[in-house]
Amino acid sequence: MGTMVRHLLLTLQSFRGMPWFVRVRLIRLSGISVGKSTKIEHEFSAPDCQLSIGERTYINAQLLVEGSGTVRIGANVRIAPRVSLLTGTHSITDDPLSRASAQVSFLPVTIEDGCWICANVTIQPGVTVRSGCVVASGAVVTRDTEPNGLYVGVPALRKSDLPCRQMA
């Protein structure tokens, strides 16, 4: 599929009045893998990345997936409004006139199964949020988390352990 067609499909799905099931269909047609029983709200933006979303996941309004990197969102994940998943980064150069002009690289972002990403969270390039984590509103996740933890702040730090029921 061409880039223009993908961008057109993703633009069409972003309209606020679009029914969620039509939105998911358009997102699938754009080449993004979306699991069964997943619901995605309006203003979803993932124009250039390689994205897969697991089953029974809910993505609220205004998810931004930036860059051309790989992003994997697991099953049973909840993502609140205005979350940013960033895949693009670059080194800082020695030249003060071109600090941001270094070669861009793209690193994967992974949100494992059963996570809750609260409103206004930013997840930086190369980060994995391990299964069962909750990332509190406004946090910036700059490094991998450990499973079943509550992460808060800038940068996000583990505040507490969360209970984990073992499946038999």
Side-chain-side CA neighbours of residue 142 (13 Å): 7
Other CB atoms closer than 10 Å to residue 21's CB: what's the count?
9
Give the chain's end-to-end CA distance (angstroms, integer): 43
What H or E segment, with its residue span, contains residue 90?
strand 88-90
Asked about 42 being catalytic, the answer comes back as no
- The single residue of 90, 130, 158, 159 carrying the catalytic annotation is 90
The whole-angstrom separation of Cα 18 and Cα 142 is: 34
What are the catalytic residues? 90
